[in-house]
Amino acid sequence: MPPRADAAGPAGPAGPTVLAGRVCAVTGAGRGLGRAYALDLAARGALVVVNDVGSAVDGSGRDERPGREVVERITAAGGTAVLSTADVADWAGASALVAQAVDAFGRLDVLVNNAGILRDRTIAKMSEREWDEVVRVHLKGAFATAHWAVRHWRERAAAGAVHGRLINTTSVSGLFGNSGQANYAAAKAGVAAFTAVAAMELERLGVTANAISPGAATRMTATIPGRGAEPEDDARSTRWPAAVVAWLASRLSDGVTGRVFLTSGRRLAVAEGWHAGPSGDPVDDPAAVDEVVRRLLERARPEADLSGAERVRA
């Protein structure tokens, strides 16, 4: 039987035990970034619930072997982990994930929402099902697991500080847009907005909510033209986003909430989100609106490109 978690210690220097005793559930942890997160969290002392349904990139199929391999690797290295094959986009499945963490380890401290699929199409070619399935996994999956985790944290908060962590996954596609990914971008934009709301609601419980937009070479990036599944250089290694997830999961990140971090081997940045830009007096005539808006657009910052930098105006 897996050991029960002791009370998590206070924030301290980063190291192999920075997450000692922290109970972390990672969704989509059988491959790619989720796998890297689970292995890294366990190596730093966390007790890990490895959640994965073992589907293909498009969400089809089921195979528990990837998740089980991660659990076996963690335990072989002296860590502690259990396998969850629950579908986190299913209401009962999300509940089962949180319940398994509590049953196995006594509580849940950290929820890392990483599970996702891709079904890229242009808007004209995308089917209703392709839209629904991607939104279901990314956006509903993040909400469903968070719902049950928050209910757990709310119960614990009655007895004292929780120091819980909700870590969601957004994307540059959701933050800045990317052609051919309307379903994925909309879902990931929703995750970013959901994270902002969660941060507001959970602060009183002693729980932080943040999101990361990770950049790394995985089997999902292999579906994007010009990118491979394996890192061509260290900048595309999963270790960079994994370190940020570990920091967010630990007490080192106390007080940081409602933020989105862009993380890869090339940079670590804070996304600044939507801000009100140049403004003018309201007008009630379309021709006057056109005149005012044209002036405002000349003063406004250009939209960001996929890297987050300002687009170069033609």
Active-site residues, by number, are 171, 184, 188
| CA 171, 177, 178, 181 torsion-angle sign | positive
CA Rg value for the chain: 20
Strands 80-84 and 47-51: parallel
Q: Please answer whether residues 135 and 183 qualify as being in contact, where contact means their C-beta atoms are separated by less than 8 angstroms.
A: yes
The token pair at 247 is 């920091």
